[in-house]
Structure 1
């Protein structure tokens, strides 16, 4: 998700589901290797997804920088997962998932840029209360999760390894609460807070299909009204804990603000459209490398971008601007939880100079949307301005590109103003390139974990 900075700990650099057949997921906390798809049959589930509009004042603080955990995962009877989910898109993709026993439906932001998944919890319901419970196999719907209604819920004690301070890949501040349970508190620079207990809980898809209890955050206080489904490369992320070897999503083209949100899809497991995908390799980093690179997020989906093209002009940006340097600055990552795309200064300045050359006189002077986007225009001229700017392309290895048509290069923001959905990452206090979900519209994005690659394929996501 866009970027939040913790005031309590070092910042972790940046940053589903449905028709039934039978198989169960099984995973324990002690493994980090994705399961090969040939080891077991796949399954498919389906759930409705919702949009999550983001208030303007939170524009800079959408990203969950919740950190990674230490416990390694090991599977005893892990399954390959093939799960399809529709989701509606506004600024962040949100999926409704059935959690607990019996299941309670919880809204979670699909975020490839964070690790720890967490849900909204409350402690107001009395044990044995029927409020929020569901009939067997049928999830209830509630804004918050009530632990007292789930027989599979448990809380991590202070003695758990994740609750020990300064664990190498888990920088989330934890402490013992008065009940000797593992408590985390995470404050953000915008004044919002997520805190609660680390817990174990199942994702219960049907009577016969469920994960074992996974480690999650159970937030009793939070500045957001949705949870987060952490999908990065970390050992505590959902793919690792649930042994999901592949997942992919398709963000539909954004509708006008007054129109209904279209619905896209997200698969866990094999995607039937993958034969049309083009693949680029992921750049991975060993523990020794990442420790020497303070500006790097080693758990992000990092790719080697080669350049940027506007219209027919390839901008004079050296490829080194898109690769991590000795300190980790310049890393390029794909992030479903960030809306806009962010570029390091060297790249952003060239993009802005080209936009100014093409349409500078029509730019809104002195206007900066959300404190980060300053290439903005009045809505009355948006279509003509898009035609003048032309198509936008992000170039990768082997000729693979993400091409954004000229009709879609501008994002509608406050009051009908339209902006280039590109901002300078240094305005966030970051030193990375982040390809956000605005530039992933009508595009299949697949994360193939065993083969360490990302697949890209054009699509009409509202029909996929």
Structure 2
């Protein structure tokens, strides 16, 4: 699928020319933000009653729901039924604080590389003096599939929310402020975003903070309306994130937007297939032994195969069935594991014992295009789900031709996206080290 559906040069110029960053030229190279894991005590989704094992179990459930969303909405997005600003199948894994409007209202948004839009809910546009609706005859409105005019001739579109199955959303612009990890502020004017139509919502509900929900999606997809592309007039269209220990909710997690992106280490080709970021995976190895998996298992196909998706809002790794079952066979043989029957639906392959007892594992290597090799070690592959039980954190995709690399695959890596050159880089690093690099 061509990328032209996502990027329109003329419309892009209109968007970029409307954005003004109120920051000095010395500061325009990068914006460094802290990410909040959904299970962190700083998250609105945090439940202090959940045990570590219960949180892991929930991550399996969420990952399966997210995979279903990615698969099912790809074809819908092609037909224009739904815009990928959707909150369905996206409870989020990592969040970032943003402020919108005048006066500023702080929101917590899920960082999503598979979403093409900044989308909010529970935000009262009527109380912001700097909010501007987008007219439905604007060329910007044409960027939103299934767009229409509301009763005031303003741009509207439908989007699927988790608890509002077919919500009616408006397209508008307002001032955004990003708080950096070192407590500075970057102000952006006229950022275009989707907002749930609040005409029929009680004002007290709009002004209250729900203890169980987040406020929106920070889309980083390859589209004119994603945040990273809207900001490309003042910073290069690049971003990097670093996920720390996914089993530690309070581990350091970073997001960096702009020129200061840590594009070092191994660099492979980045593609966009049906709105998702894709990598060209050529095979798998355990140590030096290449697994006997046909290469076309990982390729995009006309029959519906979406190839290998890399994204931020899924925890687990999913492999196309032919690759998954071959991996399980070889992995259990290599490590000497015997699977246990455990009737808990989210899990697939589980084993008695402690994952820390696995010794001398040679690593599972993903071989990408351009001779890039990314290693998954024990901490990327297994999760302790009980006192004497651990499970494989790689699951089979329900359909052939679709694999997804989630945050656990990317754990302890700086992953950098260069949307100008269409490259992605992998650098093994502790996120604390990355933070120090950007502050220097």
TM-score above 0.5 = yes
1:115-165: per-residue Cα shift (whole Å, max 9, x none)? 1221222xxxxxxxxxxxxxxxxxxxxxxx33233222123344445667x
Give, in angstroms, the shift of residue 399 of structure 1: 2.8
Aligned to 1:237: 226
Structure 2 SS opposite 1:395? strand
1:43-63: per-residue Cα shift (whole Å, max 9, x none)? 444554322148735443345
Give the whole-Å Cα distance in 2 for the aligned partners of 1:456 and 1:425: 24
Aligned to 2:6: none
Match of 2:375 among 403, 406, 409: 403
Distance 1:27 1:93, change over 3 A: farther
Give the whole-Å Cα distance in 1 for the aligned partners of 2:78 and 2:100: 21
Match of 1:149 among 102, 127, 130: 127
Within a 5 Å distance, the mapping from 1:177-216 to structure 2 comes to 177=150, 180-187=153-160, 195-205=168-178, 209-216=186-193
Instruction: Mark the runs of 5 or more structure 1 residues left unpaired by the alignment.
Output: 1-25, 32-38, 71-89, 122-144, 285-295
Within a 5 Å distance, the mapping from 1:425-464 to structure 2 comes to 425-426=397-398, 431-464=401-434
Distance 1:271 1:41, change over 3 A: closer
Structure 2 SS opposite 1:339? coil
Give, in angstroms, the shift of residue 255 of structure 1: 3.9
Aligned to 1:345: 321
Match of 1:49 among 35, 40, 57: 35
Give the whole-Å Cα distance in 1 for the aligned partners of 2:419 and 2:191: 19
Give, in angstroms, the shift of residue 106 of structure 1: 1.6
Equivalent residues of 2:315, 2:406 under 8 A apart: yes
Aligned to 2:265: 277
Are 2:304 and 1:322 equivalent residues in the alignment?
no
Give the whole-Å Cα distance in 1 for the aligned partners of 2:32 and 2:375: 30
Equivalent residues of 2:239, 2:255 under 8 A apart: yes
Within a 5 Å distance, the mapping from 1:122-137 to structure 2 comes to none
Equivalent residues of 1:321, 1:330 under 8 A apart: no
Structure 2 SS opposite 1:263? coil
Aligned to 2:366: 394
Instruction: Mark the runs of 5 or more structure 2 residues left unpaired by the alignment.
Output: 1-11, 18-24, 40-44, 46-54, 81-90, 199-209, 435-440
Give the whole-Å Cα distance in 1 for the aligned partners of 2:242 and 2:34: 14
Distance 1:59 1:439, change over 3 A: closer
Distance 1:104 1:306, change over 3 A: same
Equivalent residues of 2:318, 2:394 under 8 A apart: yes
Match of 1:217 among 185, 189, 194: 194
Distance 1:325 1:68, change over 3 A: closer
Structure 2 SS opposite 1:439? helix
Give the whole-Å Cα distance in 2 for the aligned partners of 1:30 and 1:395: 37
Match of 1:377 among 319, 331, 351: 351
Equivalent residues of 1:69, 1:236 under 8 A apart: no
Aligned to 2:65: 61
Give, in angstroms, the shift of residue 444 of structure 1: 0.9
Distance 1:272 1:449, change over 3 A: closer
Larger proportion of strand: 2
Give, in angstroms, the shift of residue 216 of structure 1: 1.3
Give the whole-Å Cα distance in 2 for the aligned partners of 1:416 and 1:228: 37
Match of 2:331 among 321, 331, 355: 355
Structure 1 SS opposite 2:409? helix
Equivalent residues of 1:336, 1:437 under 8 A apart: yes
* Number of equivalenced pairs: 363
Distance 1:186 1:431, change over 3 A: farther
Give the whole-Å Cα distance in 2 for the aligned partners of 1:381 and 1:195: 49
Equivalent residues of 2:239, 2:257 under 8 A apart: yes
1:278-323: per-residue Cα shift (whole Å, max 9, x none)? 2112235xxxxxxxxxxx52x3222211111234432111222222
1:377-434: per-residue Cα shift (whole Å, max 9, x none)? 35x43223x43765222111333121122244212458885332222222xx674222
Are 2:269 and 1:254 equivalent residues in the alignment?
no
1:25-52: per-residue Cα shift (whole Å, max 9, x none)? x973379xxxxxxx99724445543221
Tell me the C-alpha RMSD between the 2 structures. Answer: 3.8
Aligned to 1:266: 255
Aligned to 1:35: none
Structure 2 SS opposite 1:462? helix
Give, in angstroms, the shift of residue 68 of structure 1: 9.0
Larger proportion of helix: 2
Give the whole-Å Cα distance in 2 for the aligned partners of 1:314 and 1:369: 31
Are 2:310 and 1:334 equivalent residues in the alignment?
yes
1:36-95: per-residue Cα shift (whole Å, max 9, x none)? xxx99724445543221487354433457595999xxxxxxxxxxxxxxxxxxx972211
Distance 1:389 1:46, change over 3 A: closer
Give the whole-Å Cα distance in 2 for the aligned partners of 1:343 and 1:305: 11
